């Protein structure tokens, strides 16, 4: 199922003259489940991560955005989680499901900004609630930096586009067990924004 999704993504990127380079894949935990926390730039974000993430992973998506043509099939193939941000009880249920499944070895992407704001290579406030699944499951938190991902759907021309997915060093449970989710959110956001600042300031490939 994951391979089928990747096949569709590769065909789309080839037709759209899009390339995505992964950086720091060696930082991904070798065993067990974990949750990836990227900045959110646009509709291409999860696709770019999956292109560079060899092992099957899934994604949490806003329920209102999950049932359009192709998106629905894509989410079904990776057994994605549909979250209704207007229903607190349903959101908690999804967070608990993520925690339980991550304990069993699944890997998830969740966007702690809660949505994208057409702000390019800049972050907005990371929501602490997004980190509850990791805390409950005691699994690694992997900060992920998306660079130039917004260009895929915001630039209306035929020029080639290159994006980057940069996996940072994980925060293991021992690293964050004494932190509140507010502190975890701020730490992850700071690490991601530091890499974005380096990239935009030097206009070069992330290191």
The secondary structure of residue 104, as a DSSP letter, is: T
Q: What is the pLDDT of residue 116?
A: 85
H or E segment at 183? helix 181-202
Question: What is the rounded average pLDDT for all residues in the chain?
Answer: 93
Q: What is the pLDDT of residue 203?
A: 58
Structural domains in the chain, sorted by start: 2-202 (3.40.1130.10)
57-86 residue pLDDT tens: 999 998 888 777 678 888 888 999 999 988
- Does 205 have pLDDT greater than 60? no
Q: What is the pLDDT of residue 17?
A: 94
3-state secondary structure at position 182: helix
29-47 residue pLDDT tens: 999 999 999 999 999 999 9
Determine what percent of the chain falls in helix, strand and coil, rounding each to the nearest 5.
Answer: 45, 20, 40
């Amino acid at each position: 199922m994951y391979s089928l999704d990747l096949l569709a993504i590769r065909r789309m990127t080839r037709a759209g003259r899009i390339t995505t380079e992964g950086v720091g894949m060696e930082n991904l935990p070798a065993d067990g489940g974990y949750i990836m926390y990227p900045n959110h730039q646009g509709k291409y974000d999860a696709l770019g991560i999956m292109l560079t993430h060899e092992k099957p992973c899934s994604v949490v998506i806003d329920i209102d955005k999950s049932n359009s043509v192709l998106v629905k099939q894509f989410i079904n193939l990776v057994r994605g989680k549909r979250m209704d941000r207007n229903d607190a009880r349903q959101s908690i249920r999804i967070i608990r499901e993520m925690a339980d499944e991550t304990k069993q070895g699944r890997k998830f992407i969740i966007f702690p900004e809660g949505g994208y704001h057409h702000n390019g290579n800049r972050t907005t406030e990371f929501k602490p609630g997004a980190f509850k699944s990791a805390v409950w499951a005691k699994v690694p938190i992997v900060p992920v930096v998306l660079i130039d991902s917004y260009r895929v759907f915001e630039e209306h021309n035929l020029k080639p586009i290159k994006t980057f997915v940069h996996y940072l060093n994980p925060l293991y449970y021992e690293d964050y067990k004494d932190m509140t989710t507010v502190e975890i959110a701020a730490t992850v956001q700071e690490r991601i924004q530091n890499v974005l600042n380096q990239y935009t300031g030097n206009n070069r490939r992330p290191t």
